[in-house]
Amino acid sequence: MSQQKGNKSRINVEIYGQQYSVVGDESTSHIRMVAAIVDAVNVIHDYIKLKEEHEKLKESMTKKGME
């Protein structure tokens, strides 16, 4: 849902499960694209954290001779 005020666009977007109201000079499609990129960054952040945790667990298991 979007509203135009002068040159500003107000659009509601969902980023990582949360609703945000974004106001900007760009088109609504541009704002949606930026929101999707931010959402992807959050997903990648979670992936990297899980991968690091997995590597630590593997290392711990190897040190204990469990692998």
Cα distances from 19 to residues 2, 45, 46, in angstroms, run 13, 19, 19
Question: What local confidence, expressed as pLDDT, does residue 5 receive?
Answer: 54
Dig out the tokens for 42 from the structure.
Answer: 């959050």
Cα separation, 21 vs 38, whole angstroms: 14
Cα separation, 29 vs 51, whole angstroms: 33
* pLDDT 10s digits, 5-48: 568 889 999 999 999 999 999 999 999 999 999 999 999 999 99
Question: What local confidence, expressed as pLDDT, does residue 9 receive?
Answer: 85
